[in-house]
Amino acid sequence: MPRGERQRTEVRIFSRRPNSNTRGRTPQSALKFCEGKIRTPEIYLVRHGETEWNRSHRIQGSLDSPLTELGREQAQRSGRTLARLGLAGLPVSLSPLGRTRATAAILAGEVAFGPVTVEPRLRELALGSWEGLTFAQVQARFPALLEGTTQHTWYFQAPDGESFEAARNRVGGWLGEQTGPVIAVAHGMIGRVLRARYLDLPREQALAYPLGQDVIWHFRDGGMAVLPVD
């Protein structure tokens, strides 16, 4: 499919260097200010489908739980969208965790992959001893650590977890090695960190905007767009 046709399906969100008209605006109000001007690798980011622990609000990190029926449907729709966009044959970088492998297997049933690389730098943010707990349990046991945090910045407060800087550096190393379009199958928090690194956004802004499981995130020329799935 010609690139022009693909672009008409996109809802553009951010550029790497917003112009002065976007300063101080929320991501939603900056939808029209989207054109990046810095050459950067083209990435189609697919988050794994919903899991059992996603549904029960339990922290996964480097642990795993099975995809739900909805999660499998999300992966199928994402695969059909990748095929519709003419992306068959692109190389794939895949987090080594079970939920991303399961998602990739479903994607591959809908669109032919090019070479597949299992990429440890795309694994989910490590949360140490918080992994396996519910959000409510973390709030009850570590109230002081969560004081002053927002909906997503608290992930980096785990005393034995991974810092934002460490996660940003590892995903930045992967980004720096990409020389052409690639499909990345990864996770919610590391996807937000990748967004921060790619778009050169402040941590709070990059973490605040959602990273859903029912869309594909298209990074190109220093900008980011949302591709709705079929």
Active site residues: 48, 124
Residue 205 structure tokens: 């802004």
Residue 75 CA to residue 211 CA, distance in Å, equals 15
The DSSP result for 107-160, as a single string, is: HHTTS----EEE-GGGSPPP-GGGTT-BHHHHHHH-HHHHTT--TTGGGGG-TT
**At residue 35, what is the residue type?**
E
Rg (CA), the chain: 17
List the alpha helices (DSSP H) in the chain. 3-7, 52-55, 69-84, 98-108, 135-141, 143-146, 164-176, 188-199, 203-208
Tracing tokens 């959602």 back to the chain, one arrives at 210
Q: Of 131, 132, 154, give the one whose Cα is nearest residue 143.
A: 154
Residue 159 structure tokens: 């005393």
